[in-house]
Copies of this chain bind each other. A is one copy, B any other.
Amino acid sequence: MIDKNHCLILDEQDPLAHLRQQFTLPDGVIYLDGNSLGARPRNAGERARRVIEQEWGDGLIRSWNSAGWQKLPQRLGDRLAALIGADAGEVAITDTTSINLFKVLSAALQVQAGREPQRRVIVSESSNFPSDLYIAEGLIRMLGQGYSLRLVDSPQQLPAAIGQDTAVVMLTHVNYKSGYMHDMSEMTGAIHAAGALSIWDLAHSAGAVPVELKRSGADYAIGCTYKYLNGGPGAPAFLWVAPALCDLVPQPLSGWFGHARPFDMATHYQPGSGIVRYLCGTQPIVSLAMVECGMDIFAQTDMQSLRRKSLALSDLFIQRVEQRCAGYDLELITPRDHARRGSHVSFAHPEGYAVIQALIARGVIGDYREPGIMRFGFTPLYNCFSDVWQAVEILAQILEHKTWSQAQFQVRHSVT
C-alpha cells in the first residue's frame, strides 16, 4: 500500500518537478482542473504588459507590422504544430473551437460533394462535447439538401455507423466527460476505408497526450489553447488541415485575413494558399500573444515525458481513491487502460455535485458534469504526486463525514 512518504519520494525523483515553478498557483489550492482552464504561466503578466504598453501604447497601428501581429496566428501555430504531430505552416491559432469546427466541417462536406455527392451523413458520438454537435446541427440546418447527423452511443458502435452514405466522421479524441481516448490512427484508418473524412477535436488532447496528426493520417483537427496549453481564459483556438486537402476548397467564413492578398482590398475573395485561408477576421492580440507563454514552457520538455507523468498521476489517483474511498458509491468512468485514457479521471457519485462543491471549499478544485460526474484533471506541468495524495485524503474525509451535505453551493456551472 502506497503511503504519503512514497508520494514525496516520487515528487523528489520527478524530472519535471521544476516546471511547476513556472506557474503561479494560489496558496492552499490543489488545482485539478487544468482540463478546463489551465493555470497561469508566471510570465503571462509580463507578456501582456509588453503587448499593452509597448506594442499597443507606443507602437500603435505600426505594431501590426513591427511587432508581428499580422502573422501571429501562423507564428504561434508553427510552435503548436510540434505538439500535435503537424508541420510548420499547417496550423493557425485563431477564433474559437466551435467556429473552427464550422470551417473544417464545411470544407470537408464540400470536398465530399465534389467527389461522392451522395455522402451526406456526418457521424459522431452522442457523448461528444455538445458544442461540436450544435455546430454540426447549425451547418446541416443551413445546408438542407439531405445532410444529416448520425450519433452513436458508444465508440464500439462507430464502425457499423460509418458507411457509403458517410461524408465525415467528427470525433473528440479524448472525451470531455469520461476521459476515454480514441486510437486516432486506427479510427482514421477505418474512416478512410469507408470513404469518409475525419475531423478530430483535440480540446482535451493538445498538450495532454501525444498526438500524431500526420502519422495517423488525419484530415482535419481543431482544438483549444486554454486547457492543457495554458493559453489563458478563452484564448484563441487552433485548427489544422492536412496539406493534401487544404487548397481543394475555400471555407465559408471567408474574411479578409484569409484572402490571398488582403491589402489589395480587392472586391472579390480569393483564398490564400495553405492554412491562411482558414483565417477570417482580426484576432484579439493580447489574448493571442499570451498563448506563447504556455508554448515556452512546453518547449522545455516533450510530450512523451509529460505523458509518462500524466499516467503516473492518474494511476495513483485511481488507486488511492479505490483504496481510501471504498464503500462510498464512487464509480470510475474513465478507462483503466492507458491506451484509452486521456489526462483526466472521472468518478460518478450520486451526490457528485455536492461533493465537488465540498472539495472546492477545501481547496481541491475539480469540476462537475451532469449526471453526477466529478472530473479531476492531471497536468504534469504543475501537478505533483503529493497533490494527488492530499486530494484523495480530503475527498475521503468529505465522503466519510458527509460534509458535502452542508457545503455551500456556489458554482453549479463552470465552463469546460
Kindly supply a per-residue 1/0 record for chain A positions 96-113, scoring 1 wherever the CB is within 8 Å of any chain B CB and 0 otherwise.
111100100010000000
A311 on interface, CB distance cutoff 8 Å:
no
Using a CB–CB distance below 8 Å, which chain A residues touch chain B? Answer: 24, 26, 29, 31, 33, 36-37, 39-40, 44-45, 48-49, 51-53, 55-58, 60-66, 69-70, 95-99, 102, 106, 126, 130-131, 133-135, 137-139, 141-143, 151, 224, 226, 232-237, 250-256, 258-259, 262-269, 280-288, 290, 360, 365, 367, 369-370, 410-415
A369-B265 contact in complex given A99-B253, A130-B259, A415-B61, C-beta closer than 8 Å: yes
In contact, B106 and A26 (Cβ under 8 angstroms): no
Give the 10 A-B residue pairs with the shortest CB-CB distance, closest first.
Answer: A96-B281, A284-B287, A98-B255, A138-B254, A131-B256, A98-B281, A233-B285, A134-B269, A263-B413, A40-B57
Report the bound CA distance from A384 to B320 in whole Å.
68
Give A253 Cβ to nearest chain B Cβ, in Å.
6
Give A224 Cβ to nearest chain B Cβ, in Å.
7
Give A96 Cβ to nearest chain B Cβ, in Å.
3
Give A74 Cβ to nearest chain B Cβ, in Å.
15
Can you add 6 more A-B contacts, CB < 8 Å, to A29-B60, A65-B411? A48-B52, A99-B281, A131-B255, A134-B258, A138-B250, A151-B267
Give A144 Cβ to nearest chain B Cβ, in Å.
9
A141-B250 contact in complex given A37-B60, A232-B56, C-beta closer than 8 Å: yes
In contact, A237 and B365 (Cβ under 8 angstroms): no
Report the bound CA distance from A269 to B233 in whole Å.
24
Report the bound CA distance from A349 to B255 in whole Å.
29
In contact, B232 and A267 (Cβ under 8 angstroms): no
In contact, A255 and B142 (Cβ under 8 angstroms): no
So how many copies of this chain end up in the complex? 2
Which of these, B96, B250, B370, contacts A264 with CB under 8 Å?
B370
In contact, A52 and B255 (Cβ under 8 angstroms): no
Which of these, B29, B44, B224, B282, contacts A415 with CB under 8 Å?
B282
In contact, A224 and B62 (Cβ under 8 angstroms): no
In contact, B268 and A137 (Cβ under 8 angstroms): yes
Chain B residues near A266: list those with CB within 8 A. Answer: 130
Give A296 Cβ to nearest chain B Cβ, in Å.
16
In contact, B254 and A137 (Cβ under 8 angstroms): yes
In contact, B281 and A365 (Cβ under 8 angstroms): no
In contact, B133 and A267 (Cβ under 8 angstroms): yes
Which of these, B48, B269, B290, contacts A138 with CB under 8 Å?
B269
Give A34 Cβ to nearest chain B Cβ, in Å.
9
Give A262 Cβ to nearest chain B Cβ, in Å.
8
Which of these, B53, B95, B135, contacts A254 with CB under 8 Å?
B135
Report the bound CA distance from A234 to B415 in whole Å.
23
A414-B284 contact in complex given A138-B254, A256-B130, C-beta closer than 8 Å: no
Report the bound CA distance from A120 to B326 in whole Å.
65
Give A393 Cβ to nearest chain B Cβ, in Å.
21
In contact, A138 and B265 (Cβ under 8 angstroms): no
In contact, B26 and A57 (Cβ under 8 angstroms): yes
Chain B residues near A133: list those with CB within 8 A. Answer: 267-269
Chain B residues near A143: list those with CB within 8 A. Answer: 142
Chain B residues near A106: list those with CB within 8 A. Answer: 142
Query: A269 — nearest CB in chain B belongs to which residue?
Result: B134
In contact, B135 and A253 (Cβ under 8 angstroms): yes
Chain B residues near A139: list those with CB within 8 A. Answer: 252
Report the bound CA distance from A137 to B143 in whole Å.
15
In contact, A45 and B37 (Cβ under 8 angstroms): no
In contact, A61 and B36 (Cβ under 8 angstroms): yes
A253-B60 contact in complex given A52-B232, A234-B283, A267-B133, C-beta closer than 8 Å: no
Give A102 Cβ to nearest chain B Cβ, in Å.
6
Chain B residues near A95: list those with CB within 8 A. Answer: 95-96, 99, 281
In contact, B58 and A96 (Cβ under 8 angstroms): no
